Chain A
């Protein structure tokens, strides 16, 4: 019993540290990449290549005054940043990050919790995250925040339907809900190490997942809830200091979470060359895949203008949802006929 507790604690600390560092350096990555996309050089003063910038930012945010406006609903105002931040971290509890290995004589499962409904857990947790934004918007007592909150609830409900449907194809083919088994099924021993990745069996499903994931995390071109040219800063207009920082980190944690889930579902998770010889290298492949997703996110931000609100809704209900239903039906037919 004690061994289990110690082993779990070490894993939790490791994953938490990795995710939080990932969040901090995602902000750096974003500023640097967007900088270069716009012919600037991005942060470059704090440390070599500006590498210490996230630490400087964190210190700055900690020392800022925490302003709580008069008309806020205090309890929900305080609760909202936590609700939007915590679920993103919880997602990582079920994501396998390397091949199971023997470390110092102990067999270690490289996943915090090997749930047999892992992917449903991810979606349940993600669906809780929307409350953070909605409550922040409502409790701030400001019209810009409220509008951001209303927009976000409408947007997230609309896109969550397609988001859920987009992965049904993978689940139908894999016949499991466990993320661990999903990763195992994408293994391949041949030189074409990517041959069994689900992205090749579910290309449409992957595109739908990617699009909906961007909408779910409120990133450009779907960042209507915080559209700064229209709503000041949307749902977090009234937030400052560490409470604002929690929304800020939460956004990046959410991006990392959907990237990790996307990499696990469609790109074989930690699978890659040499994972059988050196099990630890799986961690590197996994991190690399998540990094590519993150880079893509930021690239999109630097490329596309924001959707208009009615365009967003039309796109979600009239394009994505029918496509997702079509994908589910076709995949179901193929699985029943046994063509895979």
Chain B
């Protein structure tokens, strides 16, 4: 076993462990922490493939921005333990869950099989990437040529999501019920606390 294999195995195990622990946790804050652990391990895998840029971006975007927002929301609503989950009707029935999980497992098996067929060994896959794989230039060229339309569409989608979020938090003046009230309630509580 050379150093590369050891690093790969360790970070792969950590990534899977983090992902598993994330869904096994009752405490939402710890879930987020395990997700961060998993993402950092994935970044290590990217770096090992020579995709330094993708690894750094993964950390900056997900660990640095999106998951901080997750934590922010969890802390703002102060969800501690499990008491806030499981109220009301079940969103997904057991059968649906099972079918979805089964589909996912088949998908995974299919992916692993095809990638195994392409390369001699799982470790051998690492040599199959092009020289400038994951470099800033390579990623940018792909984004602005081959995947230009999906990229721009994703931008529009995000813009729509932002506008939607603003509309939902502001809300029309006359209605002002439901989620809006709740959010304002929290803001009021905060303001009181700061005094």
**Interface of A toward B, CB cutoff 8 Å:** 73, 76, 115-117, 120-121, 123-128, 130-131, 134-135, 137-138, 143, 146-147, 149-150, 153-154, 156-157, 160, 164, 177, 230, 309
Contact A143 B64 (CB under 8 A): no
Q: A128–B136 contact, CB under 8 A?
A: no
B31 within 8 A of A: no
B68 touches A153 (CB 8 A): yes
Question: How far is B76's CA from A71's CA once the two chains are assembled, in angstroms?
Answer: 18
B60 at the interface (CB under 8 A from A): yes
**B29 at the A interface (CB under 8 A):** yes
**Does B65 sit within 8 A of A, measured CB to CB?**
yes
Q: Given the complex, which residues of A lie within 8 Å of B194, measured CB to CB?
A: 147, 230, 309
**28 A–B contacts, CB within 8 A, in A order:** A76-B29, A76-B30, A116-B52, A117-B53, A117-B56, A120-B53, A121-B56, A123-B56, A123-B60, A123-B64, A124-B63, A124-B64, A125-B59, A127-B59, A127-B60, A128-B59, A128-B63, A135-B71, A138-B29, A143-B193, A146-B75, A147-B194, A153-B68, A153-B72, A153-B75, A157-B72, A160-B64, A230-B194
Cross-chain contact B60 with A120 (CB below 8 angstroms): yes
Which chain B positions have C-beta within 8 A of A121?
56
B72 touches A154 (CB 8 A): yes
B143 within 8 A of A: no
Q: Chain B: interface residue count, which band?
A: 20 to 34
The smallest beta-carbon distance between B70 and chain A, in angstroms, is: 10
B154 cross-chain contacts in A, Cβ below 8 A: none
CB within 8 A of B68: which of A73, A117, A130? A130
* A150 proximity list for chain B (CB < 8 A): 72, 75-76, 190
Query: Bound state CA distance, A147 and B30, in angstroms?
Result: 19
Docked-complex contact A134 and B60, CB < 8 angstroms: no
Query: Which residues of chain B are within 8 angstroms of A157 by Cβ–Cβ distance?
Result: 65, 68-69, 72
| Count of inter-chain pairs, beta carbons less than 8 A | 80
Residues of A within 8 A of B190 (CB): 147, 150
Q: B136 — which chain A residues lie within 8 A by C-beta? A: 117, 177
1/0 per residue B26-44: CB within 8 Å of A?
0001100100100000010
**A149:B75 contact, CB within 8 angstroms:** yes
CB distance from A310 to the nearest CB of B (A): 10
B71 contacts across to A, CB distance below 8 A:
131, 134-135, 138, 153
Complex interface: chain B residues within 8 A of A117 (CB):
52-53, 56, 136
Chain B contact surface mostly: helix
Query: For residue B62, which residue of chain A has the nearest CB?
Result: A127
Q: Tell me the bound Cα distance from A25 to B56 in angstroms.
A: 32
B57 within 8 A of A: yes
Q: What is the distance, in angstroms, from A236's C-beta to the closest C-beta of chain B?
A: 16
Say whether chain A's binding surface is mostly helix, strand, loop, or mixed. helix
A124 near B69 with CB under 8 A, answer no
Whether A127 contacts B64 by the Cβ 8 Å rule is yes
A135 to B193, CA, bound (A): 20
The minimal Cβ–Cβ distance linking B37 to chain A, given in whole angstroms, is: 11
Whether the pair B63, A160 counts as a contact (CB closer than 8 A) is no
Q: When chains A and B are docked, how far (Å) is the Cα of A127 from the Cα of B68?
A: 9
Residue of B nearest to A124 (CB): B59
What are the residues of chain A within 8 A of B75 when measuring CB–CB? 134, 137-138, 146, 149-150, 153
Chain B residues contacting A115 (CB-CB under 8 Å) are 52
Q: Which chain B positions have C-beta within 8 A of A125?
A: 59
The CA of A126 and the CA of B69, in the complex, are separated in Å by 16
- Chain B residue contacts of A177, Cβ below 8 A: 136
Q: How many angstroms between the C-alpha atoms of A146 and B33 in the bound complex?
A: 17
Question: Please, which residue of chain B has its CB at the minimum distance from the CB of A147?
Answer: B193
Residue of B nearest to A143 (CB): B193
Bound CA span A186–B171, Å:
51
C-alpha gap A143/B193 in the complex (Å): 8
Interface flags for B72-100 (1: CB within 8 Å of A; 0: not) read: 10011010000000000000000000000
